[in-house]
């Protein structure tokens, strides 16, 4: 399979190049030239497949031409060592719990898949030099990527995070690991971290000295595997006999997760329609309303993993539907919620159903409550375990949230990080020193 850039000004790339480089030369995002439809028999029998079996079929459609079948199967199995159960919250509303991975975030699957695929391509061509992964994080991405790549040889990961702006639990998940993971504690805000990473990708001296790639959802190997979730959700709902009018609601920030779901839909997955649920960052919501895409600076919310003012995967969604606002807005609807609306939904859901939502999942739940039509069954992604936002959640619902042992284990490790200014010259000097 070949990959083209959403800016249409870069050469067509192989999968290896798309994964190793992350972003195309014209700064566009890579898109597969073809999206394969899966056979009717697959969907007719999908309720009899396990999660791993489903993922193998989907992975083969994306990557089967470029990766040896046995190796691809192994990558899928290593990646998916956990389940993503559907929890029934109300009669017609289900929570797709994507937080049962090692760092309790849905990004675990993409991060683990990308780590193994990158390693596969590096190993195949002996003599390839070390690949350096740079990732800027406000919390969740850094922990998933650091854990996904931990101990994978041939790859070194630098996690840049804003000093004092990441929750204790999240910080422990990427600063206590050591080995091939270096945490860089930037004296600035998240945007400063992002700017350092972007500057590094554009610096020619740095790029000739070391191989650099990104593990944000711009990377095809990071976002595409998330499509597995949606086939599996459909399979589980079908098993319950409720999948005829399935509505999928995805709390969105950079729109990587919902984009993967839309790829699934393009492959024939019979989801009736989609809802992109946002916090107060409402650029996509406004695009659906007006047809105009107007990025703006992000605003801080209690669902901070979705604080994005210019979602990078918007370019892929536009490309997928031939830039037709009509096609996009007839398949996807939007929702945007303030912090107080998010809190109110967390509280009322807890009181009325007993289910504890995290602030991100709460946007999804609320969007279904407000938008589901008679006969439809809604599934929202619960994108993080509520314990990851313990203080916020407890403050809202007024009772304690237990920390799962997996999360507690990270908190016993010793923090190691490199202090850094937000000045690119300092960061560049540091990176050049690392590759000597
Ligand atoms: C990353 C993240 C999101 C947003 O996902 P996108 O793919 O960026 O749209 C939502 N919730 C949580 C908890 C996240 O970590």
Q: Given a cut of 90, is residue 33 above it in pLDDT?
A: yes
Quick check: is 107 catalytic? yes
Q: Given a cut of 80, is residue 296 above it in pLDDT?
A: yes
Q: Given a cut of 90, is residue 289 above it in pLDDT?
A: yes
Ligand 1: distance of its center to the CA of 343 in Å? Answer: 18
Edge-to-edge order in the sheet of strand 211-214: 211-214, 131-136, 155-162, 181-186, 418-420
DSSP codes, 251-310:
E-SSSHHHHHHHHHHHTT----EEEEEESS--HHHHHHHHS----------SSGGG--SS
Give 162-219 pLDDT, tens digit per residue: 998 888 888 999 999 999 999 999 999 888 898 899 899 889 999 999 999 988 888 9
Ligand 1: distance of its center to the CA of 129 in Å? Answer: 32
As a whole number of angstroms, the distance between CA 343 and CA 341 comes to: 5
DSSP state of 334: E
Of the candidate ranges 120-134, 138-152, 377-391, the one whose mean pLDDT is the lowest: 120-134
- Please tell me the total number of residues recorded for the chain in this structure: 436
pTM exceeding 0.75: yes
Q: Which residues contact 180 (CB under 8 A, 6 or more apart)?
A: 149, 150, 151, 152, 153, 155, 156, 157
Give 57-80 pLDDT, tens digit per residue: 999 999 999 999 999 999 999 999
Q: How far is CA 205 from the centre of its chain?
A: 30
Q: Given a cut of 70, is residue 243 above it in pLDDT?
A: yes
Q: Given a cut of 80, is residue 128 above it in pLDDT?
A: no
Whether ligand 1 lies within 6 angstroms of the CB of 306 is answered as yes
Q: Given a cut of 90, is residue 363 above it in pLDDT?
A: yes
Whether ligand 1 lies within 6 angstroms of the CB of 28 is answered as no
Residue from 96, 146, 254 whose mutation best tests the ligand 1 pocket (most atoms within 8 A of CB)? 254
């Amino acid at each position: 399979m070949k990959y083209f850039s959403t800016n249409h000004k870069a050469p067509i790339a192989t999968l290896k190049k798309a994964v190793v480089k992350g972003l195309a030369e014209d700064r566009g995002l890579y898109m597969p030239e073809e999206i394969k439809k899966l056979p009717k028999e697959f969907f007719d029998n999908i309720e009899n497949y396990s999660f791993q079996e489903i993922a193998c079929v989907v992975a083969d459609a994306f990557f089967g031409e470029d990766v040896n079948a046995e190796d691809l199967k192994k990558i899928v199995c290593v990646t998916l060592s956990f389940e993503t159960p559907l929890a029934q919250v109300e009669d017609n509303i289900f929570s797709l719990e994507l937080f049962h991975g090692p760092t309790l975030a849905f990004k675990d699957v993409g991060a683990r898949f990308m780590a193994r695929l990158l390693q596969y391509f590096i190993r195949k061509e002996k003599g390839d030099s070390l690949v350096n992964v740079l990732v800027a994080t406000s919390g969740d991405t850094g922990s998933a990527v650091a854990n996904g790549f931990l101990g994978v040889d041939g790859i070194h990961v630098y996690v840049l995070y804003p000093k004092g702006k990441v929750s204790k639990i999240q910080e422990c998940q990427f600063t206590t690991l050591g080995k091939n993971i270096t945490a860089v504690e930037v004296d600035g805000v998240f945007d400063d971290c992002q700017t350092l990473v972007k500057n590094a990708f554009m610096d020619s001296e740095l790029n000739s000295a070391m191989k650099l790639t990104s593990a944000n959802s711009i990377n095809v190997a990071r976002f595409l595997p998330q499509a597995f979730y949606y086939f599996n959700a459909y399979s589980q709902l079908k098993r319950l006999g409720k999948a005829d009018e399935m509505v999928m609601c995805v709390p969105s920030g950079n729109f990587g997760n919902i984009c993967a779901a839309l790829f699934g839909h393009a492959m024939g997955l019979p989801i009736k329609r989609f809802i992109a649920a946002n916090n107060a960052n409402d650029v996509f919501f406004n695009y659906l309303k007006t047809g105009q895409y107007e990025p703006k600076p992000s605003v801080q919310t209690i669902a901070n993993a979705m604080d994005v003012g210019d979602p990078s995967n918007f370019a892929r969604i536009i490309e997928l539907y031939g830039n037709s606002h009509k096609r996009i807005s007839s398949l996807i609807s939007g929702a945007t919620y303030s912090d107080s609306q998010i809190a109110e939904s967390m509280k009322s859901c807890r009181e009325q159903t007993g289910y504890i939502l995290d602030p991100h999942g709460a946007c999804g739940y609320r969007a279904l409550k407000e938008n589901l039509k008679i006969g439809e069954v809604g599934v929202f992604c619960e994108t993080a375990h509520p314990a990851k936002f313990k203080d916020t959640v407890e403050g809202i619902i007024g009772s304690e949230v237990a920390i799962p042992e997996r999360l507690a284990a990270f908190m016993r490790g010793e923090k190691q990080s490199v202090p850094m200014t937000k000045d690119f010259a300092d960061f560049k000097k540091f990176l050049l020193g690392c590759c000597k």
